[in-house]
Structure formats: structure tokens, C-alpha cells
């Protein structure tokens, strides 16, 4: 299979699907977090270094009815130009005569950014004609957008049928796949997954799959109270999904048959309102007083979770241990983050994947002290669930 490392880009136009869906402030459209742009740089730089020219395409935000200034990728141009140290050409449309005029005359070393793909509804509809129009911009297609790899959109999957053999993963996407596979197929035991966040319902498929793969499964966050109630505990007004009580019990049973140890919190920090200024106390998770809700794991739970984490050789973390956005309920999440860092220092492989645990590791400035932080929220979750992602399958030709 062709890879970005063995492909000859000399004199070729590389059409790269990147994920430049970055947050912009509403006053003057300045980028407030450029992580996704930085993540795409190695692929762009490698192709330019190897004699190619680059056509970049991305979406930005969720425009509903065609072009909207606030979702224009032109806002990205100055910063991208600074990061690459190169002038960036910009095409006001991603298809049509203007765009083709840019891309048909590109010289090696040049970079053009196309306007937001989602200004055309054909993008998310996976329209084949639109994909063909996009395909005209490149001799080789490179997918480096893990964040949208779970979507069968025109630019992420449908487009590959116009590139027969000249379709490859970018470095970022290659890395994401390699790192998740490393956890899912890890030989370095013990393997521990830490799953938190709000609801059992949104993580159920992942939990069921992880049970088959890991030695320890730590469950924290809002979903822990559904487990506590299912086991007969009194959980006050904590978050609960009553429809999932039986499923919670079946997860515990399934764990036994796979010899997977499930670690649930034993104590919890409860509050009398959902507020950082609420009155708080730490209580047994199975005996929460009426009118109080659990918003973080307690100290004893944090200690026992951290003990397991520090003894692990492979770690996957998805979802916070409590309402970490509020300072008074972030201690459990901080403790877990620090334990993962400590384990990593001792040689464990640690992967932080999916939305809010990535936000947490960034909040505590620890992203560079773990092995890998995934850029793909929903895509990472679906990959962990074992779903074949259209963007990945399309390149592999499956
Ligand atoms: P998720 O997107 O499912 O990973 O959920 C992340 C969200 O879960 C965060 O915004 C947390 O504030 C929230 N969360 C974590 N623990 C709790 C809890 N005990 N009660 C309510 N929400 C929680």
C-alpha cells in the first residue's frame, strides 16, 4: 500500500482534506485555538519538501444556507501563512472555474486553500458530482482529517473513487490509527481504560467493547451513579439513566466472564445545587442524602483509581471523573490526569481520546506529558466502538 512516506510527490498536486474547523472569536474572527491547524502542518510540509504543491480543503462550522462570512476559511489564511512561513493563495469557492484556475496552474512549493466545503450542501450529502469536481484539483488525494473520518462526506470518502491508486493517509491520520490500534491490540499489560463523562447511554458500546480488551475498566463521572443505583444504592438527585439500570448490571456480569476488573467509585463529592458555589460534602456513593447530587468522585475513589492507573502499562482515558468545568468538582479529574502522567513517566503508553478528557488534559497543561492526545472526538469514539470509519475504509479500498 502507498503511504505518505513512500509516495513520490514530485511535480504532483496533492489535494489534502484537512480539519481546519477551528474556533474563531465573534468580534474579529481570530483563531482562539489553532491545535487542528498545527496538527496538519507536518503533512503539508512533507509534501512541499518532496517537490509537490498543495491544495487544502476543509469545512468550518455548520453553515446552513450557503456562504456566510463568519464561516469563511479566508479568516484562517494569515495564521496559516505565518505558521508555514509561506504565502497562501485563497480561492473563494471550492469548486468551479475560479478554483480550477488556481489549482491547474500551481507550481511546486505553492499552497492554495479552498473556501469552506460546507458552503455546498453536496458536501455532507456525499454528492458524487461534487466529489468529482473537487477531485479535479489534485493528482493525489491525501486524507489528514481524523475529526471527520467517521462521515461519508464528499471530501472525506466519496472523492476517493476518482483517485484509484493515488489516495493515501496524511501523517496525522496515520498516527491516530496507529495509536488507537496500539491500545486496542496492546500486548503491554495491564491495560486500563478510564471512562467518564455524563451518560452511560453515549458510552455503552465503547464500554462493552473495552471489557473484551482491557484488564481494568475504571468508571467515573455522571455515569457512575447509574451503576450505583443499579446495584441498589441511594443516589439522591445525581444524574441517572433509569432505562440503563439493567444494562449497567449486564456490563458488570460481562466483565466477570472476561476477567475484567471494573472499578467504580466508592465515595463521592455531593452538592446541594448544580453550581460551583453549592454546599458540598463527601459521602458514600451508595448513600447520597435526598436533594444532594454527586458531581465528583471522592478522595478514596481517586486514590484507588490512581493506584490502578500507576500500575498499568497501557492506558486509555475518555471522559472526566466529575464536572471538571467547575473548580470545586475537578479534583477527581485532576488526580486521574496526574496519575496518567506519572504512569507515562514510568514507561506506560497513554492515549487521551475523545472530547472532554482532551479538554481536561489541556486545561491542566499536561498534554505534552502523555503519550498521545487524539484530535478526533466523535471519530475516535466510533473507532473505539469498532465501527469502520468511511474515511479510513475509502483509502484502504475496503
Ligand atoms: P461526555 O461528553 O459524555 O464525556 O461528558 C462530559 C461531561 O460530563 C462534562 O461536561 C462533565 O461536566 C459532565 N459530567 C461529569 N461528571 C458529571 C456528574 N457527576 N454529573 C453531571 N455531569 C457530569
- Whether residue 115 sits in one domain with residue 37: yes
pLDDT for 122 equals 97
Query: Is the CB–ligand 1 distance for residue 239 below 6 Å?
Result: yes
Please state whether beta strands 89-91 and 111-114 pair in parallel, antiparallel, or not at all (unpaired): parallel
Is residue 163 in some structural domain?
yes
CATH number (domain holding residue 308): 3.40.50.1260
Residues 210 and 229 in one domain: yes
Tell me the C-alpha distance between 357 and 353, whole Å. Answer: 7
The segments of the chain whose pLDDT lies below 70 read 187, 355, 398
Last residue of a domain, one of 139, 169, 199: 169
Between 331-345 and 299-310, two packed helices, what is the crossing angle to 10 degrees?
Answer: 20
Give me the pLDDT at residue 241, please: 96
Q: Give the pLDDT confidence score for residue 355 in this predicted structure.
A: 65
Q: Same domain, yes or no, for 69 and 198?
A: no
Co-location of 153 and 126 in the same domain: yes
- Does the annotation mark 378 as catalytic? yes
DSSP designation for 3: -
Q: Would you state the cell numbers that stand for residue 12, as one nine-digit string?
A: 504532483
Domain range holding 374?
Answer: 177-385
Atom of ligand 1 nearest to the CA of 319: 4
- Ligand 1 centroid–CA 227 distance in Å is 15
Q: For the CA atoms of 36, 38, 42, 43, what is the dihedral angle to 10 degrees?
A: 40
What is this structure's pTM? Answer: 0.85
Is residue 391 a part of any domain in this protein? no
Q: Which of 128, 136, 231, 378 is catalytic?
A: 378
The domain boundary, picked from 169, 185, 210, lies at 169
Instruction: Kindly state if the Cβ of 320 falls inside 6 Å of ligand 1.
Output: yes
74 is known as an active-site residue: no
Total domain count for the chain?
Answer: 2
Select from 187, 215, 156, 202 the least CA-distant residue to 382: 202
Question: How confident is the model at residue 214, as a pLDDT?
Answer: 92
- Nearest ligand 1 atom, CA 322: 16
State the Cα–Cα distance between residues 264 and 219, nearest whole angstrom. 5
Task: Determine the atom of ligand 1 nearest the C-alpha atom of 295.
Answer: 19
pLDDT at site 398: 62
Q: Tell me: do 129 and 146 sit in the same domain.
A: yes
Q: Report the nearest-CA residue for atom 6 of ligand 1.
A: 197
Same domain, residue pair 356 and 268: yes
Give me ligand 1 centre to Cα 295, in Å. 8
Give yes or no: residues 22 and 77 share one domain. yes
Asked if 195 and 81 sit in the same domain, the reply is: no
Residue 6 lies in a domain: no
144 and 223 in a common domain: no
DSSP-assigned letters across all residues of 240-259: --GGGHHHHHHHHHHHHHTT
Judgement on whether residues 237 and 311 belong to the same structural domain of the protein: yes
Amino acid at each position: 500500500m502507498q503511504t505518505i512516506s513512500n509516495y513520490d510527490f514530485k511535480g504532483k498536486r496533492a489535494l489534502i482534506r484537512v480539519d481546519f474547523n477551528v474556533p474563531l472569536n465573534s468580534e474579529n474572527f481570530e483563531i482562539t485555538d489553532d491545535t487542528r491547524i498545527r496538527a496538519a502542518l507536518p503533512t503539508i510540509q512533507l509534501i512541499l519538501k518532496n517537490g509537490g504543491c498543495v491544495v487544502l480543503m476543509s469545512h468550518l462550522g455548520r453553515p446552513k444556507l450557503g456562504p456566510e462570512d463568519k464561516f469563511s476559511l479566508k479568516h484562517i489564511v494569515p495564521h496559516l501563512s505565518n505558521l508555514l512561513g509561506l504565502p497562501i493563495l485563497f480561492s473563494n469557492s471550492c469548486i468551479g472555474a475560479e478554483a480550477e484556475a488556481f489549482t491547474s496552474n500551481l507550481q511546486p512549493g505553492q499552497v492554495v486553500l479552498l473556501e469552506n466545503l460546507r458552503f455546498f450542501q453536496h458536501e455532507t450529502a456525499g454528492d458524487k458530482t461534487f466529489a468529482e469536481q473537487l477531485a479535479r484539483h489534485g493528482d493525489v488525494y491525501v486524507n489528514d482529517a481524523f475529526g471527520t473520518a467517521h462521515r461519508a462526506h464528499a471530501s472525506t470518502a466519496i472523492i476517493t473513487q476518482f483517485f484509484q491508486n493515488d489516495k493515501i493517509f496524511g501523517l496525522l491520520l496515520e498516527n491516530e490509527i496507529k495509536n488507537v490500534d496500539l491500545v486496542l491490540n496492546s500486548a503491554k499489560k495491564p491495560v486500563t481504560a478510564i471512562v467518564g463523562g455524563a451518560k452511560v447511554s453515549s458510552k455503552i458500546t465503547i464500554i462493552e467493547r473495552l471489557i473484551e480488551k482491557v484488564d481494568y475498566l475504571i468508571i467515573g463521572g455522571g455515569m457512575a451513579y447509574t451503576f450505583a443505583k443499579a446495584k441498589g444504592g441511594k443516589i439522591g438527585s445525581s444524574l441517572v439513566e433509569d432505562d440503563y439500570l439493567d444494562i449497567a448490571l449486564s456490563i458488570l456480569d460481562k466483565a466477570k466472564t472476561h476477567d475484567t476488573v471494573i472499578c467504580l467509585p466508592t465515595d463521592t463529592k455531593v452538592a446541594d445545587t448544580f453550581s460551583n458555589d453549592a454546599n458540598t460534602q463527601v459521602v458514600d456513593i451508595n448513600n447520597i442524602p435526598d436533594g444532594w447530587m454527586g458531581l465528583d468522585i471522592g478522595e478514596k475513589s481517586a486514590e484507588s483509581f490512581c493506584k490502578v492507573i500507576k500500575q498499568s502499562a497501557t492506558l486509555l482515558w475518555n471522559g472526566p471523573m466529575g464536572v471538571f468545568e467547575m473548580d470545586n468538582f475537578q479534583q477527581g479529574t485532576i488526580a486521574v490526569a496526574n496519575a496518567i502522567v506519572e504512569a507515562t513517566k514510568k514507561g506506560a503508553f497513554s492515549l487521551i481520546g475523545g472530547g472532554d478528557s482532551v479538554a481536561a488534559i489541556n486545561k491542566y497543561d499536561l498534554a505534552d506529558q502523555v503519550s498521545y492526545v487524539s484530535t478526533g472526538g466523535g471519530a475516535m469514539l466510533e473507532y473505539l466502538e469498532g465501527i469502520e470509519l468511511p474515511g479510513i475504509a475509502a483509502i484502504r479500498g475496503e
